[in-house]
A and B are shown apart, each in its own frame.
Chain A
Amino acid sequence: MNYPAELNYSKSHEWVKMDGDTAVIGISDFAQNALGDVVFVNLPQEGDSVSVGEAFGDVESVKTVSDLICPVSGVVCAVNADLLDAPEKLNSDPYGTWLIQVKELSEQEELISANEYEALCRVEG
């Protein structure tokens, strides 16, 4: 299992990378592994508002459907449209495959470091 040190993580298994004043959001290696083969990703549209702790979309695998929980509040400025045709990218390259980018950030949940996140995954998994 891979936990890149340059990223921050939410307890609900999303990763966040700050790119200037934009938050880039994806799901962790642990999350894609727990989900199994991803078959569909449902994402918001550019311009939509998202809020901390609320679902901004969902990800469907053969096994289950899971809400994507937003670790920040703001406005969606980019959506990874490639995922609609190729959801398997989330499995093959979870950290190279972002879901949405959010700007006009007003709030952010308390994110944890790679080390803390790895410890959390060991307990859960």
Chain B
Amino acid sequence: MKLIFEKSVPGRGCSLLPPCDVETVYPSEYMNRKTAPALPEISETEISRHYTELCRHTYGVNCGFYPLGSCTMKYNPRIDEEIAALPGFAGVHPLAPAHAAEGCREVLDTAKAYLCEIAGMDDMTFQPAAGAHGEFTGVLLIKQYHASRGDTKRNKIIVPDSAHGTNPATAAMCGFEVVNIASAPDGCVDLEALKAVLNEETAGLMLTNPNTVGLFDENILEITRLVHEAGGLCYYDGANLNAIMGVVRPGDMGFDCIHMNLHKTFATPHGGGGPGAGAVGCKAFLADFLPKSALMDGGERIQVRSFAGNFLVVVRALAYLMTLGREGIPEAAQNAVLNANYLMRRIQGTFEPAFDRICMHEFVLDLSEFKKRTGVSALEVAKSLIDYGMHPPTMYFPLIVHEALMLEPTETESRAALDRAAEGFCKLYALADEDPNFMRSAPHSAQIARPDEVRAARNPILRWREA
């Protein structure tokens, strides 16, 4: 399809905005534009058709199965949208005086209380706009903690080799040296490898539990004890919180600080439909270092984002928490784990799990033997799944599994949907022997079959220009 810029016709346009009824003020000469902005000139009908066409070409969890591992692409209940659209929430101005926004304040306080309860933390900020921003904020808390004690030689953050790429990136952005430790054969933290790198330079450890291969690290209490004993702090990456919410608390596992992806675990839109929210919780001894809103909390404050963050995401998350309640939240986690195990066992026998044991909310298939035998790679299986009406799983992650496909079905899929997905996998397993070339050119039913990812990465064209 054409870009909206290509549909532009000089002189065409529409008047979606009402006439301006306040005095027009121009900025200084210095700030004035020399040329008009290159905006598309297009009629209202064409705009409507353009975006409707884009809508038809996109794929979301509302279209079908979306087992993108580590992303928790669960269904976002409509009631959350309805609550967030209430005029008192949607129309509130961030500069409204406190007495005019008491309801919003109550939402933030209530959500904080519930989420602290789930995380096992004492305090929280909603400012970070997404997971990686939350990590950045959380690791800065750790840095500030050590600095406040004059413990300035702690300049190393330990990250297992199975971690999300954002973990080492965060540590590096915060000015730490990253110490990578190899995972044990079972995909969990290797206690000996951990002990070997812990010392008086350890600022902290960043960990997800369940980890990126979907396994709960049973040594977690020993891991956090060892880090604390060495004087470091423990950071919990909440990416995989969906497996354990309401069942076990990161705070009780020994973590000092956590970010929670409200847009994953608490069912708010993401994956292009955001914005997100990476709430950061911490134990009481770190609470003084949390960013605060100068307007809402008074005084001079350090902020990582304006005002209270993406407020309407918090409204949706709170609506989700309140509709599920104390019983529903752990039940959702249990069903997420049940669904993942059901799908893993349905597929097993064809594609093999990398770790043959009960998984948590997601699991990883290891296609290296399959690729050796058939010549068909994980990428080609992933592309072929599009023809079976599903979004491909996460590919080539975690890095410790070769030819990895990582599936997270979430709790909001029915058994019938999981059966259909498993059948798709089994058919592809057979097809790889019968017609591997068909899979190499898949997908055959999508709008765009195989974008040239190599050329796009080597010579990215980041904005439209008139030819």
Contacts and interface: CB of A to CB of B under 8 A. Distances in A.
B460 to A, nearest CB: 10
B165 A62 contact: no
A39 B458 contact: yes
A87 interface: yes
B396 A37 contact: no
A81 interface: no
A65 B165 CA distance: 9
Interface in B368-422: 368, 372, 379, 395-397, 399, 402
Contacts of A62: 453-454, 457
A115 interface: no
Interface in A87-121: 87-88
Contacts of B454: 37, 39, 62
Interface size class of A (residues with CB under 8 A): 10 to 19
Contacts of A39: 454, 457-458
Interface size class of B (residues with CB under 8 A): 10 to 19
Contacts of A87: 458
B458 A64 contact: no
A88 B458 contact: yes
Nearest to B379: A63
A74 to B, nearest CB: 21
A36 to B, nearest CB: 8
B402 to A, nearest CB: 8
B128 to A, nearest CB: 24
A88 B459 CA distance: 12
Most chain A C-beta atoms within 10 Å of own C-beta, residue among B165, B397, B453: B453
Interface string A14-41: 0000000000000000000010010110
Interface string B310-321: 000000000000
Interface of B: 165, 368, 372, 379, 395-397, 399, 402, 453-454, 457-458
23 contacts: A34-B402, A37-B453, A37-B454, A39-B454, A39-B457, A39-B458, A40-B458, A60-B457, A62-B453, A62-B454, A62-B457, A63-B379, A63-B395, A63-B396, A64-B396, A64-B397, A64-B399, A65-B165, A66-B399, A87-B458, A88-B458, A124-B402, A125-B372
